[in-house]
Amino acid sequence: MLLFCSVLVAAIDFGSSDSGCAFSLRSDYESDPINTIHTESLGGNSSKTQKSPTVVLMNPDGEFAAFGKKAEQQYEELALDDEDKKWFYFTRFKMQLFTKKGLNKDMMLEDINGRKMKALDVFACCIEYIKNKVFKRAEEGVSNLQEDEVHWMITVPAIWNESARQFIIAAATKAGINPVLLSLVLEPEAAAVFCKYVAIRSSKDGKEAKLEVFESGSQFVIVDLGGGTVDITCNEVTETGQLQEIYHASGGPWGGNMINLRIWKLIRSVIGNATFDACMEESTYLKLCMLKEIEEGKMKMKSNEKATFKLPFEFSNKKIEYKGAEIIKDKIHIDPDVISKVFEYAIEQVCSHLSKVLARDETRNVKYLLLVGGYASCEILKETIKKKFNTYDIIHPCNNPEMIVLNGAVIMGHESRPIIGRLARYHYGLAVPSGLRIIPKKETTMHTEFDHEPTFLPLICKGTPIRIGKKVAQYSFIVTSEELTDIEIGILTCEDDKAPSSIAENSCNKIGQIVAKFPALIKNSKMTIIISCDETEFKVTAVIDELGHSFSARCSFLL
């Protein structure tokens, strides 16, 4: 992803739970890739982690007020003074991009009190804050640093679809980052690249390291255990030391936040849903305290031990009838067998998915599982994975697993091509509008008329390599309508193992469109479209053969 002009690479890990940013100079990187990465603190750090909570506070006019810990503190003060309701307070909102179907630029986000603001504005103002902070800090070290000398890397979960990725690009652009100087990085890939570097560096220093993981031919699985998502990628180290995916990225919304949510639900049902909700609705301050208590209490939990949480004073000594829980003074004590069920369910989601991935033919030679992301520090999760996957070598690459993705993203910005190929997670295909007729390739027996037959025109088959920077498909069409200027070709995906034959099949999902504007095309003129893939997006070039003109068209995934 090396950009010719960049003096500095800056990465933003915009996490579902916590965010971080880091940068390094090209000149420093060449002498020491790892120790020259600077981490910049965002809105006050907690002592435990170098990332900050992904929390943003906006004033009643909808303008940025604070980010991270500072936002948390300021909002707590507002809540104590009962002034919180006019402000906007967004926490852990990144996951909404994953769950939302038909994501568009006008999508709204709900804050803690249900107040709404445009998601694009919320993301953009967070990115702008982080960008300015990093740039200012970098400027202190590099005199006369220009904005166009910085290559920005923003991390995204590998399992995000094209719409969510394009949404982040739009937000970053709004935040003042030139899209030409921006690359999106897939989170588990960044983690894989960082782990590889740590191992290489360790070998030079002669320190102990699990180097065989990164020997040519070795296959390993990275499990990025974040706050929102669990992202799984399977890689093989090639002869050149680059990484090649052997099975497409997968995962789901089973990150650490799921535990918080389940503890919240458990306490709610112990206290009584209506009583609990009334208290939380009445006082934002108490709600914030409860959320914090759950997050902090969760970190200390060990299997077979009681869990204890401080409750709002309203619930002190409350009489309850719940088997396995009791309230003494202002604390709730939950028995190990009850609290372990909370963890069991969430962890089971991760383990059952991981088992399916490891049962695939493609992954049969995998020997190593690398656990990264903040949730990888969870003792109960670690123990379960070790027990369930005891035939694998389970590796925790460093003491700060939540920093691995961020550091890896910086390294990826300096490397020309650390990942040489990834595999398509779906079948990708085109839906051709009426007014165009495909000219069949000699070797195919494909249907040629699209006016009546809505064929799924294949772009990339599920599980096949996506060669970055290479052409993925080329199709030629004859214009069959009188006059055509705006052409919209739908982009579809299908998750089934077998490619669909018709776009009408239920499993087909429209994820975007290629939009091309031409000077009026005359009937019977011939047009060719060439589609290639860059790091994260499709690129389209359309050529009108008679005129020899070529147009670049846009793939839009924000429907």
Ligand X SMILES: Nc1ncnc2c1ncn2[C@@H]1O[C@H](COP(=O)(O)OP(=O)(O)OP(=O)(O)O)[C@@H](O)[C@H]1O
18 near ligand X, judged by CB under 6 A: yes
Query: Is residue 15 involved in binding Mg ion (CB under 5 A)?
Result: yes
Amino acid identity at 234:
C
- CA–CA distance, 430 with 456 (Å, rounded to integer): 6
> Contact between 299 and ligand X (CB under 6 A)?
yes
Which residue, chain included where needed, has tokens 């009791």? 326
Q: Which is nearer to ligand X, 272 or 336 (CB)?
A: 336
C-beta separation of 372 from 223 below 8 A: yes
x/- mask, Mg ion, residues 128-167, rule CB under 5 A, reads: ----------------------------------------
Q: Closest CB to Mg ion among 20 and 490?
A: 20
Residue 421 contacts ligand X per CB under 6 A: no
Q: Does 500 bind Mg ion (CB under 5 A)?
A: no
Q: Assess 418 for contact with ligand X (CB under 6 A).
A: no
Q: How far is CA 296 from CA 9, 155, 192, 263, 554, in A?
A: 33, 26, 29, 12, 46
Q: How far is CA 337 from the centre of its chain?
A: 33
CA 109, chain centre distance (Å): 17
User: Which residue lies nearer to Mg ion by CB, 16 or 384?
Assistant: 16
Question: Out of 65, 94, 119, 357, which residue is the one contacting ligand X (CB under 6 A)?
Answer: 94
d(CA 462, CA 439): 24
Distances (CA, A) of 256 to 227, 290, 380, 436: 4, 17, 12, 49
- Binding pattern to Mg ion, positions 198-227, x when CB under 5 A? ----------------------------x-
Angstrom distances, CA of residue 109 to CA of 96, 222, 231: 8, 31, 24
- By CB under 5 A, residue 228 contacts Mg ion: no
* Binding of ligand X by 163 (CB under 6 A): no
55: three-class secondary structure by DSSP: strand
Q: What single letter denotes the amino acid at residue 48?
A: K
Stretch near ligand X under the rule CB under 6 A, chosen from 129-137, 369-377, 449-457, 502-510? 369-377
Does 52 bind ligand X (CB under 6 A)? Our answer is no
**Mask 240-259, x = binds ligand X (CB under 6 A)?**
---------------xxx--
What's the min distance (Å) between Cβ of 269 and ligand X?
22
Q: Which residues of 229-254 are buried (b: 16+ CB within 10 A; e: fewer)?
A: bbbbbbbbbeeeebbbbbbbbbbebb
Which span sits near ligand X by CB under 6 A: 68-76, 370-378, 452-460, 531-539?
370-378
Residue 375 found at the interface with ligand X (CB under 6 A): yes
Closest to ligand X by CB, 78 or 158: 158
* Least distance in angstroms from the C-beta of 303 to ligand X: 12
- Give Cα separations from 499 to 421, 426, 441, 456, 472 (angstroms): 21, 9, 19, 8, 16
Q: How near is the Cβ of 515 to ligand X at its closest, in Å? A: 30
Q: Are 545 and 527 in contact (CB under 8 A)?
A: yes
Tell me the per-residue interface mask from 208 to 247 with ligand X, x by CB under 6 A, - otherwise.
------------------xxxx------------------
Whole-angstrom distance, CA of residue 247 vs CA of residue 540: 26
Q: Which of 188, 297, 312, 374 binds ligand X (CB under 6 A)?
A: 374
Using CA atoms, how far residue 423 sits from 248, 250, 414, in Å, is 5, 11, 23
| Cβ 233 to ligand X shortest distance, Å | 13
Nearest distance in Å: CB 32, ligand X: 25
Q: Which residues bind ligand X (CB under 6 A)?
A: 15-18, 51, 94, 187, 226-229, 255-257, 295, 298-299, 373-375, 377-378, 402
